[in-house]
């Protein structure tokens, strides 16, 4: 009964979505307030209905209702409760329902809090959200219905892929989807603005918080995914340039660009049509990510069960959403009024550079991800593009990006003095030189030259961002109490920027150090033997069987010592899941802030007396994820900025009058 | 002219959309090999460091053998590895491997981590031999009959379904023949 209620709620939600999309669009065109006002209540009704459907599906999973096909295929009565709940989105159908839950939550938020939006803009934004809802609800109901029954019901289910039964991964999809779907708000605002035919700073103040929220959750989602890959796939790698990872990375890169170009629209009323285009592209890349994962068009270990009907549907959806909005763009964008002028060396100029580099990076990842597909179509053979391509092309773009990231905030709007900005960064310059020298000394020149560049960049980003903050609060120039007052009164967006930029540097330090200076030892060890790595002694105490709720495992115990002092006890496991007949490696990790000790248990050797044991020392690897969490926090802090909450304009753009400057780009 | 610039994103998207559509028409796994029913190309690959046996064309006669092309950097290889392990250990099919464009230490640690079901492994560092075999990407698997001829090719990760429905019946047939 309850699954049928869920199904019914989804069908109702589809009808409500039509109501949310149709009348408000007509109302906005004919200035009919009554028709426009339908959008708000419809958005809230759609959210409630979708929540009912999601609740029904969760209920079926929690009570292990094996008459529901989705539960049979992805659950098992012995599965721990955490994974029964997270298993709802651990499969294709359920994840699509989660997707639409996010979409309607955001739509309802605009309906509830968008009181100070111009009424036509609000109606159109909600209508575009309704259109997206129609697309995805139709997709779920026609190709991916999670409520299909099986008769007769089997006694037990097939269990969830054990690789996915993991706390890190359990919370990865909700963050990722919140990010993807959050960009749908930027998209809806962009399309609504194109229909309206005007973009102003107030519009940007609305787009910015949605983009910030989406960007922050996407950052967290990607960080969680990478952390999961690090400890679960079991070889200490943290990024594979796999098509599915790239599918989430491309919207992140484009979203980062959008985040920054929206600042220019808000503060200077410039870069308007470019920002609109970025909003469309960012959401399109999110849609494409969904398409790539589910179509089977590229092979990947992450891919959901592949079904051509689904791929075809999403392709049509992508064609309508992206094709339609880009066509609208080509018709309406030329009419958008260009705004403030600026010199190449200025805050705007720096943000344009940021956008150019990020767009190039997005295009690079896009080409690398889809190159095999294009070659295949042109009948030029099948290839797989591996990490070497991405490392060779992405890194050279990332280096100037990070270098410029630090300088940008020092530049003033409209026109700036680059020399003066660099002079104020002398402290950061000194720290960079010291860090590189110390690193080169400590590693005795070991590691590639690129690693030293990475260290320099990380130091530059961290110290440079902090120097910028110190300048703002006039640290050491005025009494400390005054600096403190200044810091407290700084806009939250300034805090957010400093936090995000600083932690970007922290991430880079982690990526660089672990790529260049990790060490590993792989040997066949018997209990009682000791291995040593990076100054630590790993004593293999014992190994024995243990049983979990839905798996059996061999668990080894290692005592780690350094100079005779105990450091940690590590218990790596090798689990086998009888239902899915899969074996997983549960590596044991001892982390300090500065490094990870990572032990994984492999197969027993052929005579069974010894075990293959892999031990890794990853310097600074936790910094990658500390950086990710920090960047997310930076985004969230920025989100609490006063002007987003009350929607008050900070200041009108002062410089409409011609400033002697060359023609501004991209307008 | 300016309007054309604004049309550019739309036109680019049409191109990408058409590519998706065409890509959708074809199965990324469905590639005929020109080498089907031909003898395996002559090759002799060295073993991984510290191991005795590599892989050569001479080794591929006498028994029905599955040759799996893998690399430690390839994630689908990891996905198919349990399937291959079961094929070798439980279903008794000899599986040998070509290690494709891989660093020896990476390959060794990958095997240590995921288990080594292979009877022997040849190292194809520069990918020359893989080209002779017509390998497009990793993973790929070839079924070789007792006369050393390639009889079946699978592109992409092996799944239990492919094993049950294609590989095992073929192995049975080839062993009789």
Domain residue ranges in chain B: 30-176
Minimal CA separation from B75 to chain A, in Å: 6
Q: How many CB atoms lie under 10 A from the CB of residue A34?
A: 8
Minimal CA separation from B177 to chain A, in Å: 32
Whole-number pLDDT of residue B19: 77
Q: What is the mean pLDDT of residues B122-135?
A: 81
Q: Name the region of A414 (left: φ>0; alpha: ψ -120 to 50; beta: rest).
A: left
**In the predicted structure, residue A663 carries a pLDDT above the cut 70:** no
Inter-residue contact A633 to A639 (CB < 8 Å): no
B172-177 long-range CB contacts below 8 Å, 24 or more apart? B174/B64, B174/B143, B174/B145, B174/B146, B175/B64, B175/B146, B177/B145
Residue in this structure with the two tokens 């031999």, named with its chain if needed? B129
Inter-residue contact A272 to A265 (CB < 8 Å): yes
Whole-number pLDDT of residue A49: 93
- Express each pLDDT in A204-248 by its tens digit: 888 888 888 889 999 998 888 888 878 776 566 777 777 777 888
- Express each pLDDT in A114-160 by its tens digit: 777 888 888 889 999 999 999 889 988 888 888 888 777 677 776 66
Chain A residues touching B10 at Cβ < 8 A: 323, 326-327, 329-330
Alpha helices in A339-448 (DSSP H): 347-377, 387-407, 418-424, 426-442
Run of H or E including B113: helix B104-114
Residue in this structure with the two tokens 């090719």, named with its chain if needed? B153
* Residue-averaged pLDDT of chain A: 80
The reply to whether residue A315 touches residue B20, judged by beta carbons under 8 angstroms, is: yes
Distance between CA atoms of A245 and A239, rounded to whole angstroms? 8
The reply to whether residue B28 touches residue A382, judged by beta carbons under 8 angstroms, is: yes
Distance between CA atoms of A477 and A243, rounded to whole angstroms? 50
ipTM: 0.71
Q: How confident is the model at residue A47 (pLDDT cuts 50, 70, 90)?
A: very high
Q: How confident is the model at residue A367 (pLDDT cuts 50, 70, 90)?
A: confident
* Residue-averaged pLDDT of chain B: 82
Q: Which of A298, A300, A323 sits opposite B10 (nearest CB)?
A: A323
Distance between CA atoms of A436 and A460, rounded to whole angstroms? 11
| More confident position, A260 or A369 | A260
Q: What is the mean pLDDT of residues A45-70?
A: 87
Q: How many CB atoms lie under 10 A from the CB of residue A186?
A: 27
DSSP three-state, residue B117: coil
Pairing of strands A611-619, A565-570: unpaired
Inter-residue contact A98 to A177 (CB < 8 Å): yes
Distance between CA atoms of A64 and A319, rounded to whole angstroms? 38
φ, ψ of residue B149 in degrees (nearest 5): -105, 145
DSSP three-state, residue B65: strand
| More confident position, B130 or A282 | A282
Residue in this structure with the two tokens 């002799």, named with its chain if needed? B44
CATH architecture under which domain B30-176 falls: 3-Layer(aba) Sandwich (3.40)
Minimal CA separation from A524 to chain B, in Å: 9
Distance between CA atoms of A585 and A597, rounded to whole angstroms? 16
Whole-number pLDDT of residue A584: 75
Whole-number pLDDT of residue A445: 62
- Express each pLDDT in B9-39 by its tens digit: 888 888 888 877 776 665 544 455 567 777 8
Q: What is the mean pLDDT of residues B94-111?
A: 88
**In the predicted structure, residue A475 carries a pLDDT above the cut 80:** no
φ, ψ of residue A652 in degrees (nearest 5): -75, 150
For B34, counting Cβ atoms within 10 Å of its Cβ (0-12 exposed, 13-18 middle, 19+ buried), the class is exposed
Q: How confident is the model at residue A447 (pLDDT cuts 50, 70, 90)?
A: low
Whole-number pLDDT of residue A300: 45
What pTM value is reported for the model?
0.78
The reply to whether residue A297 touches residue B13, judged by beta carbons under 8 angstroms, is: no
DSSP three-state, residue A237: coil
With an 8 Å Cβ cutoff, is B110 touching chain A? yes
CA of residue A80 relative to chain centroid, distance: 27
**Per residue, what are the HEC states of A59-96?**
HHHHCCCCCEHHHHHHCCCCCCHHHHHHCCCCCHHHHH
Whole-number pLDDT of residue B6: 79
The reply to whether residue B137 touches residue A312, judged by beta carbons under 8 angstroms, is: no
Q: How confident is the model at residue B69 (pLDDT cuts 50, 70, 90)?
A: very high
**In the predicted structure, residue A167 carries a pLDDT above the cut 90:** no
With an 8 Å Cβ cutoff, is B109 touching chain A? yes
Chain B residues touching A602 at Cβ < 8 A: 112-115
Run of H or E including A187: helix A172-196
């Amino acid at each position: 009964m309850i699954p049928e209620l869920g199904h019914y709620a989804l069908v109702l939600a589809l009808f409500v979505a039509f109501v949310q999309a149709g009348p408000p669009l007509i109302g906005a065109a004919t200035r009919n307030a009554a028709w426009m006002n339908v959008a708000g209540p419809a958005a809230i009704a759609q959210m409630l209905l979708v929540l009912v459907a999601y609740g029904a599906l969760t209920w079926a999973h929690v009570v292990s209702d094996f008459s529901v096909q989705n539960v049979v295929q992805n659950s098992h009565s012995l599965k721990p409760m955490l994974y029964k709940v997270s298993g709802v989105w651990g499969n294709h159908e359920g994840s699509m329902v989660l997707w639409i839950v996010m979409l309607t939550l955001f739509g309802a938020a605009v309906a509830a809090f968008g009181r100070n939006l111009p009424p036509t803009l609000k109606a159109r934004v909600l209508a575009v959200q309704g259109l997206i809802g129609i697309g995805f609800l139709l997709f779920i109901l026609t190709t991916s219905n999670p409520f299909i029954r099986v008769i007769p019901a089997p006694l037990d289910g097939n269990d969830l892929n054990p690789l996915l039964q993991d706390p890190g991964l359990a919370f990865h999809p909700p963050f990722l989807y919140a990010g993807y779907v959050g960009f749908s708000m930027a998209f809806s605002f962009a399309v609504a603005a194109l229909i309206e035919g005007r973009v102003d700073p107030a519009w940007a103040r609305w787009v910015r918080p949605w983009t910030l929220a989406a960007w922050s959750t996407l950052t967290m989602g990607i960080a969680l995914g990478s952390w999961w890959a690090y400890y679960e796939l079991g070889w200490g790698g943290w990024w594979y340039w796999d098509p599915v990872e790239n599918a989430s990375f491309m919207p992140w890169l484009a979203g980062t660009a959008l985040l920054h170009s929206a600042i220019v629209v808000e503060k200077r009323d410039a870069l308007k049509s470019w920002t609109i285009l970025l909003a469309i592209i960012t959401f399109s890349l999110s849609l494409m990510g969904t398409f790539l994962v589910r179509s089977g068009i590229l092979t990947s270990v992450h891919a959901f069960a592949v079904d051509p009907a689904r791929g075809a549907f999403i392709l049509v959806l992508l064609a309508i959403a992206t094709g339609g909005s880009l066509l609208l763009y080509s018709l309406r964008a030329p009419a958008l009024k260009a705004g403030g002028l600026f010199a190449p060396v200025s805050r705007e100029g720096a943000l344009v550079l940021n956008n150019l580099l990020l767009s190039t990076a997005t295009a690079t990842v896009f080409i690398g991800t889809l190159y095999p597909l294009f070659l295949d179509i042109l009948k030029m053979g099948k290839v797989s593009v591996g990490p070497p391509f991405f490392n060779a092309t992405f890194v050279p773009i990332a280096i100037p990006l990070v270098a410029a990231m630090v300088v940008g905030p020092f530049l003033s709007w409209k026109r700036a003095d680059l020399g003066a900005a660099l002079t104020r960064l002398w402290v950061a310059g000194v720290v960079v030189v010291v860090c590189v020298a110390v690193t080169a000394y400590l590693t005795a020149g070991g590691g590639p030259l690129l690693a030293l560049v990475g260290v320099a960049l990380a130091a530059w980003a961290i110290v440079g961002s902090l120097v910028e903050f110190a300048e703002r609060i006039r640290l050491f120039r005025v009494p400390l109490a005054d600096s403190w007052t200044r810091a407290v009164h700084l806009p939250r967006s300034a805090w957010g920027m400093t936090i995000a930029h600083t932690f970007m540097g922290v991430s880079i330090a982690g990526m660089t150090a672990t790529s260049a200076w990790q060490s590993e030892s792989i040997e066949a060890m018997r209990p009682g033997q000791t291995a040593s790595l990076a100054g630590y002694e790993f004593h293999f105490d014992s190994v024995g069987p243990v049983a979990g709720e839905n798996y059996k495992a061999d668990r080894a115990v290692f005592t780690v010592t350094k100079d005779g002092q105990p450091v940690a006890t590590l218990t790596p496991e090798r689990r086998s899941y009888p239902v899915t007949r899969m074996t997983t490696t549960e590596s044991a990790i001892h982390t300090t802030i500065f490094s990870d000790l990572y032990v994984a248990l492999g197969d027993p050797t052929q005579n069974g007396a010894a075990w293959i044991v892999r031990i890794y020392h990853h310097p600074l690897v936790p910094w990658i994820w500390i950086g990710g969490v920090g960047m997310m926090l930076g985004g969230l802090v920025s989100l609490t900025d006063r002007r987003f909450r009350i929607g008050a304009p900070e200041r009108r753009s002062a410089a409409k009058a011609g400033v002697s400057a060359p023609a501004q780009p991209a307008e | 002219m300016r309007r054309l610039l604004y049309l550019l994103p739309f036109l680019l998207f049409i191109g990408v959309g058409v590519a998706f559509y065409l890509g959708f028409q074809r199965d990324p796994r469905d590639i005929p090999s020109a080498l089907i029913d031909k003898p395996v190309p002559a090759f002799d690959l060295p073993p991984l460091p510290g191991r005795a046996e590599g892989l050569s064309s001479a080794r591929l006669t006498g028994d029905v053998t599955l040759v799996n092309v893998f690399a430690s950097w390839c994630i689908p290889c990891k996905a198919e590895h349990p399937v291959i392990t079961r094929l070798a250990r439980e279903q008794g099919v000899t599986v040998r491997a070509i290690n494709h464009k891989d660093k020896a230490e990476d390959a060794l640690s990958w095997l240590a981590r995921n288990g080594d079901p292979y009877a022997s492994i040849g190292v194809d560092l520069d990918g020359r031999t893989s080209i002779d075999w017509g390998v497009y990407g990793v993973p790929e698997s070839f079924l070789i009959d007792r006369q050393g001829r390639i009889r079946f090719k699978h592109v992409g990760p092996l799944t239990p379904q492919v094993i049950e429905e294609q590989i095992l019946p073929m192995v049975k047939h080839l062993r009789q023949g």
